[in-house]
């Protein structure tokens, strides 16, 4: 396999690990002041019009989606619409510091993927500002990408990933953060990551940090943006 093609395959295998590391890193961030709707420049063209925080899912794409409901009583109760026909992977998370379990789901097709992740957090955490500011979130993403895609002391070192925050947006209550990043690794085609992070409680009143992360080659992102938006909007922490 040519080196460039091998590198592209390694990138696809690694993006899920980047998302999971980011969620774990956010739990460990210290609280710093921030301002709602803080943005790295203007809201990007890709985010404009998708209405991920307040909009309504598109009826035109409803037939492409099917509902997933988590019913295991040991796991956080939630539901989300998943793309029909996409590869489905799941993982249960357990850390010694938490008595409750976390959960990740990954839906993928070719170079496209959507991941849903939930991790328990302390009951007194009610706003994202208690976990960090927008720069902290961007830094956590960049550091995780570097650790996964360019590990130290590798026999075949990879180019250092370059992560560019494109935009960040949050409502006044600071319960959610919508962010978008561009990830570049050497000569490989750049990837766009779009991530919705939030805090919420399930039916048992357990507190969770959740994230929905969509990734796509930059050249394919615009034509898949509405599908990603509909999946994001469908997520609910819910009764079993």
Bridge partners of residue 216, in order along the sequence: 192
Q: What are phi and psi of 46, to 5 degrees?
A: -65, -35
Bridge partners of residue 197, in order along the sequence: 177, 211
Q: Is 119 helix (H, G, I), strand (E, B) or coil?
A: strand
Per-position pLDDT tens, the chain of length 240? 454 444 444 444 445 444 444 554 444 443 333 444 333 333 333 443 344 444 444 555 555 899 999 888 878 889 999 999 999 998 887 766 556 778 889 999 999 999 999 888 888 888 888 888 777 888 887 777 777 666 666 666 677 788 888 988 888 777 888 999 998 988 889 999 999 999 988 877 888 889 999 999 999 999 999 999 999 999 998 765
Residue 75 is predicted with a pLDDT of 80
Token pair of 10, please? 């390694």
Q: What are phi and psi of 171, to 5 degrees?
A: -75, 170
Q: What are phi and psi of 100, to 5 degrees?
A: -95, 160
Rounded to whole angstroms, the Cα distance separating 139 from 121 reads 20
């Amino acid at each position: 396999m040519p080196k460039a093609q091998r590198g592209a395959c390694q990138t696809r295998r690694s993006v899920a690990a980047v998302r999971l590391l980011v969620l774990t890193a956010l739990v460990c961030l210290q609280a710093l002041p921030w301002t709602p709707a803080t943005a790295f420049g203007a809201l990007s063209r890709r985010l404009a019009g998708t209405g991920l925080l307040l909009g309504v899912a598109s009826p035109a794409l409803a037939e492409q989606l099917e509902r997933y409901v988590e019913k295991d009583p040991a796991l956080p109760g939630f539901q989300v619409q998943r793309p029909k026909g996409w590869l489905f992977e799941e993982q249960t998370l357990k850390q010694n510091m938490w008595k409750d379990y976390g959960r990740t789901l990954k839906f993928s097709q070719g170079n496209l993927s959507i991941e849903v992740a939930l991790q328990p957090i302390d009951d007194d955490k009610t706003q994202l500002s208690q976990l960090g500011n927008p720069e902290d979130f961007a830094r956590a993403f960049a550091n995780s990408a570097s650790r996964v895609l360019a590990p130290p002391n590798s026999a075949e070192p990879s180019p250092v990933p370059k992560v560019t925050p494109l935009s960040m947006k949050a409502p006044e209550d600071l319960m959610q953060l919508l962010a978008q990043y561009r990830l570049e690794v050497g000569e490989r085609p750049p990837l766009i990551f779009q991530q919705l992070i939030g805090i919420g409680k399930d039916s048992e009143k357990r507190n969770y940090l959740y994230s929905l992360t969509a990734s796509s080659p930059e050249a394919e992102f615009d034509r898949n943006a509405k599908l990603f938006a509909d999946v994001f909007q469908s997520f609910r922490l819910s009764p079993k």
